[in-house]
Amino acid sequence: MEESDTKHDCGEHVSPDNCGQPMHQLMSELFPICRSITGNGVRETLRILQRHVPITVFEVPTGTKVYDWTIPKEWNIRNAFILDRDGNKIVDFNTNNLHVVGYSIPTDKIVSLAELQKHLYSVEDQPDAIPYVTSYYEERWGFCLSHNQRSKLEEGPYRVVIDSDLKEGFLSYGEMLLPGESRKEIFLSTYICHPSMANNELSGPVVTAFLATWIASKPRKYSFRIVFIPETIGSITYLSRNLDDMRKNIVAGFNVTCVGDERAFSYLPSRKGSTLADKAALNILTSLHPEFIQYTFLERGSDERQYCSPGVDLPVVSVMRSKYREYPQYHTSSDDLSFVTSSGLQGGFEVLRDCIELIEKNTIYRVTCLGEPQLGRRRLYPFIGTRDTHRYVSDMMNLLAHADGNNDLIDISNIIRVPVRRLYPLVENLVAAGLLEEVS
């Protein structure tokens, strides 16, 4: 069963240079929803995103074989709490949805403290934080709470109530296809399967939605394939239905995750390490964020695990801010709306926008004359000689010297050590002057 739903509001006018605040606002709206790899939380998240971008929603039934996996039962939860012997609600799903282990089966029983402890999860060295725990493929129930709270629990009995369903249903995901001049595609993938966490969940779909709006607003060389999916089982499901097209068309892809805090920029390569996505990401990060952290594929942990698996081999990298597993707030209640900021989101948006822009503009050029062109008679550079115009002329001569019909723009930027942003207007002027031509 597939349902298409395309109400959205693409008419909004947000400057791509200043969209941190509206991104943070969208994130705040999505934050309270209890998402998991299936269920109504995913659907509601997609519905809110559809107000911004024209996402088509797909529903794949429980039991469907997807490569080595099977779509699990659908999980939904309405309420959950723990009552102490005085009837006080000491743990409450309604105050923080991280309190319940994801995919907990329905429960309503009286237990001793000893019995309860077997179902509790906390983190000793982060005593104030509620950890995030799931059990998708083994049926159990449990609660997460701060270590401080846990250590103060007195003897029971306790009543534990989890009002959830785990039954035949669907896995939901969203897809958006934006046709361009070419059928070749740039691919963006982000995940929507974690409950209330900000950097390692909502920064991804929010930045992706705003990238989609920006992409949709301009003429495009490449087509774009943009997906909002549950991690792992969702990407495997998506691949199992689209791999042939993806392998034929995708020239570069980005797994959009952890793009919202204000700390590092970081990069996780594709398995092969030298795809167009890698080239673009390394060029942008090296020139704009030279302090970025370069991870190896051994440190992977998101959907590049599927996209770069043998036989799939898509050119997908991750360009992130603080990488999952590498910051203390990761997978706890501290990864919240204050940890991710407007300015952090803006930075995450921009670095991905710059990578996409670079891939869109990346072309092999060839200079049209032998020997250096005589720039003087063409007035291709400003009249007043300053340090800036000197740099301008030097950039232009270096660009021309390496536009040999083999180097693409990324190669030239790397060789002549000039950020691509400074090359774009030069290329435009030189093409207009007939001195550069595209090599097809």
Q: Which of 62, 232, 249, 287 binds a copy of itself (CB under 8 A)?
A: 232
Shortest distance, position 301 Cβ to a copy of itself, whole Å: 10
211: number of Cβ within 10 Å: 25
Query: Nearest to residue 39, comparing CAs of 77, 1, 92, 93?
Result: 77
**x/- string (CB under 8 A) for a copy of itself, residues 257-296?**
--------------x-------------------------
Closest approach of Cβ 319 to a copy of itself, in Å?
Answer: 20
Distance CA 375, CA 340 (A): 49
Q: Which of 102, 104, 101, 137 is nearest to 233 (CA)?
A: 137
**Residue 247 binds a copy of itself, judged by CB under 8 A:** no
Residue from 366, 388, 390, 425 binding a copy of itself (CB under 8 A): 366
Task: Based on the shown chain and the rule CB under 8 A, indicate whether residue 312 belongs to the binding site for a copy of itself.
Answer: yes
CA-to-CA distance for 440 and 431, rounded, in angstroms? 15
**Binding window for a copy of itself (CB under 8 A); candidates: 14-22, 120-128, 139-147, 311-319:** 311-319
Q: Which of 13, 65, 377, 387 binds a copy of itself (CB under 8 A)?
A: 377
Q: Are 96 and 130 in contact (CB under 8 A)?
A: yes
Looking only at residues 380 through 399 of this chain, which bind a copy of itself when binding is defined by CB under 8 A?
397-398
Strand partners, 80: 162
Give the amino acid at 39.
G
Out of 98, 373, 396, 426, point to the residue binding a copy of itself (CB under 8 A): 373
Indicate the SS3 state at residue 61: strand
CA–CA distances in Å: residue 173 to residues 36, 192, 209, 311, 398: 12, 8, 14, 23, 47
What sign does the dihedral 391-394-399-402 (CA atoms) show? negative
> Among residue numbers 204 through 223, which ones bind a copy of itself (CB under 8 A)?
none
- Distances in Å between the Cα of 60 and the Cα atoms of 42, 64, 308, 433 are 13, 7, 23, 54
Task: Tell me, letter by letter, the H, E, C secondary structure of 186-228.
Answer: EEEEEECCCCCCHHHHHHHHHHHHHHHHHHHCCCCCCEEEEEE
Q: Which residues, numbered 401-430, are part of the site for a copy of itself (CB under 8 A)?
A: 401-405, 416-417
The answer to the question of residue 309 lying near a copy of itself (CB under 8 A) is: yes
Binding mask 55-94 for a copy of itself (x = CB under 8 A): -----------xxxx-------------------------
Q: Which is nearer to a copy of itself, 71 or 285 (CB)?
A: 71
Q: Give the separation between CA 96 and CA 41, rounded to whole angstroms.
A: 14
Measured from the CB atom, is 7 or 377 closer to a copy of itself?
Answer: 377
| Closer to a copy of itself by Cβ: residue 235 or 346 | 235
Q: Which residues bind a copy of itself (CB under 8 A)?
A: 66-69, 137-138, 232, 235-236, 239-240, 243, 271, 297-298, 300, 305-306, 308-313, 366-367, 369-374, 376-377, 397-398, 400-405, 416-417
